A and B are shown apart, each in its own frame.
Chain A
Amino acid sequence: MEQFITAIAAVIFVPLVLLGYIILGERVVERLPERLQIWIRPYFWALPAIGFATIFMVYPLLRTVVLSFRNNADTTWVGLNNYVYFFTFPDTLTSLRNSLLWLIFYTSISVALGLVIAILLDRVRYESLAKIAIFLPVPISAVAASIIWKFMFDYQPPGTTQTGTLNALLGLAGQQPVAWLVNSTTNNAALIFVGIWSITGFCMVIISASLKAISTEVLEAARMDGANEFRIVQLIVTPLLWPTITVVGTTMIINALKTFDIVYVLTAGAYDTDVIATQMFNQLANAHYGRAAAVGVVLFVAIVPLLVVNIRRFQQQEEQR
């Protein structure tokens, strides 16, 4: 009951408090001398946002870097020990390798499939309906998606009835069932595929939107000149879509590096499926804060290049405004 009251109070009072903050604050600011107003007003407006960003992102980020050089109890400096641990311990190295697999395959396949499906659907009458089907997994949580795929990958010993869809299909083809999530040659691929399945619709929708912006005349002209559809896609469509593809690609790289939910729910990192983010969470759950922080920093360092790219792109857009 108490929870209800707090939640309802928050929904009603937070906007009211902010409204009061704005109206009363502006009353005060307006009374100030003109020159002071110009200085104070913007900070007054941006303060809640900047405050939140500082408390929950900027400060923790710096603090995590510091913690990564401290022992787990945060009492002494341990130099690079936590990093040495990360780069020498077999379990963490496996997580690093797996994250690399995610990075390469999740990113390239989800973007490529998004592109291919967008181009294919552009040519049929039932496009909007087909798009809904491909997009359907996007709003579904990783937790629910994992349970969906737990059934697809379900495994029973050979000779018994296979209730998992994939193994039943293998049985139809006369093959032995595969323990998808346990077998270390298939489990990472299986997990990555669940990730791809969940996100392809997202890539498709964005790529499709810019595909629609390509003028029909250009394509018609190429067709008149006798270019076949594959050449058109290769020489006209893909280059024109390239800016969009890179934007979607960077988003996917970040997703790949941050992958957590699917692995945590489906295998909990067992059977050599750990990724950086699950590794970090386990260290954190075991109160190995120094090590967990070092894993976080490694993850962050991997993302820094994209951060730079993002800022550059932002600055270019600003110049065009």
Chain B
Amino acid sequence: MQKIFSRPKSLRDAVTHYCAGCGHGTAHRLVAEVVDELGIREKVIGIAPVGCAVVAYDYWNFDCSEAAHGRALAVATAIKRVRPQNIVFTYQGDGDLAAIGTNETIHAANRGENLTVVFINNAVYGMTGGQMAPTTLIGQKTVTTPRGRRPDLEGYPLKISEMLAQLPGVKYIERVSLHAPKEVLKAKQAIKQAFKNQIEGVGFSLVEVLSPCPTYWGMSPQASLDWLSRVMVKEFPLGRIK
């Protein structure tokens, strides 16, 4: 019998700690599949963020480093500069990449570091209990915006991908979503492109992945995917940004 589906070699046989309907599991798998398909498992070094994906290295079966909250791109910069022959990527959430780590993000991008960034945007802080993220939508209720995010008090959803696209050092930015199988396949292609860019020495490449968080959106997994596809993609339009 022909085997047509199995766990990628870059993914460990581990029990997930993620909530039901969370997008991280899918995103982790996409990274693992891409690493396998590009044949780079033995030279890839992943940087895990602080947030729900802090133990991403418990799932990935290749070398990984932790980074302090927001500092993944500083750690990645150094590893890549020291070991240009390795393939270095960061996997960061919206709080990590677009709030506490904004400085590291902008400057690594502006230096044009030859790195791959997988940026998970789920519009909320998950690990700490559902607080407002920089990407939280206007009106979205979180534990720190109990009446919904108000622009006069809390500002607007931060479009960091569009901001980064302005920098000459940035070579590739695409926004994808995990709300339907077709979109997941597109997400995989974008992640693959971002890794290929690094292999070819193109430069700073980032994929923003819109991802569901049923637990802190207060919805069922199915309702989360619906909300993602109907509401969140309106604020964060999908497609190639740069």
Q: Is the A/B pair a real complex?
A: no
Chain A residues with CB under 8 Å of chain B are none
